């Protein structure tokens, strides 16, 4: 069974980092699964390779492996979190895993070519990052005002 990537991209209208820590300070922008169709080396670097998830010596050291969910999710992400909790209570924790979040500023700090030798322009992630850059400009946001929360599911 193929692994799917799920999650949300949220933004905060607050430039002040203290305000972004408050409840109701994030707004859902886009469901991640609507853009990311394939598991590739980019998400391995971001959150870890699902086939190699519990290996202590993976090909790439993920920047945001298993950080869990953010403490103050938007209502859409909060609904997904509650649905995941209910699913896991009923079916166990094997099918949904790798919960993590990261900020777009962390993505912008990655030198894909130099550090990882990745030049793939065909990755859904690279296309998503270009879309986020446009959104960031349209909304006049800083990169720390954009948060990506993601997980794997079978």
pLDDT of residue 49: 76
DSSP H or E segment with residue 103: strand 96-103
Which pLDDT value is given to residue 21? 93
- Number of CB atoms found within 10 A of residue 27's CB: 13
Q: What is the domain count for the chain?
A: 1
Supply the pLDDT for residue 1: 58
Asked if residue 6 lies in contact with residue 153, where contact means CB atoms within 8 angstroms, the answer is: yes
pLDDT mean by block of 10 residues, the chain; 154 residues: 88 96 95 86 85 67 91 96 96 90 96 77 88 97 97 89
Residue 20's nearest CA partner among 9, 8, 10 is 10
Q: What burial class does residue 33 get, using C-beta atoms within 10 Å of its C-beta: 0-12 exposed, 13-18 middle, 19+ buried? A: middle
What is the C-alpha separation between 104 and 106, in angstroms, rounded?
5
The pTM for the full model equals 0.91
| Domain limits for position 92 | 4-153
pLDDT given at position 113 = 79
């Amino acid at each position: 069974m193929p692994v799917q990537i799920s999650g949300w991209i949220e933004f905060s209208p607050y430039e002040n980092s203290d305000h972004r820590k408050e409840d109701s300070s994030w707004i859902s922008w886009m469901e991640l699964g609507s853009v990311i169709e394939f598991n590739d080396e980019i998400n391995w670097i971001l959150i870890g390779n699902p086939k190699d998830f519990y290996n202590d010596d993976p090909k790439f050291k993920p920047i945001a492996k298993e950080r869990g969910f953010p403490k103050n999710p938007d209502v859409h992400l909060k609904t997904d979190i509650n649905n995941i909790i209910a699913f896991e209570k009923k079916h166990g924790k094997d099918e949904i895993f790798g919960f993590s979040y990261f900020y777009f500023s962390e993505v912008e700090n990655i030198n894909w070519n130099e550090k990882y030798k990745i030049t793939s322009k065909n990755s859904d992630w690279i296309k998503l990052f270009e879309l986020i850059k446009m959104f960031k400009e349209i909304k006049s946001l800083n990169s720390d005002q954009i948060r990506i929360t993601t997980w794997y599911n079978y």
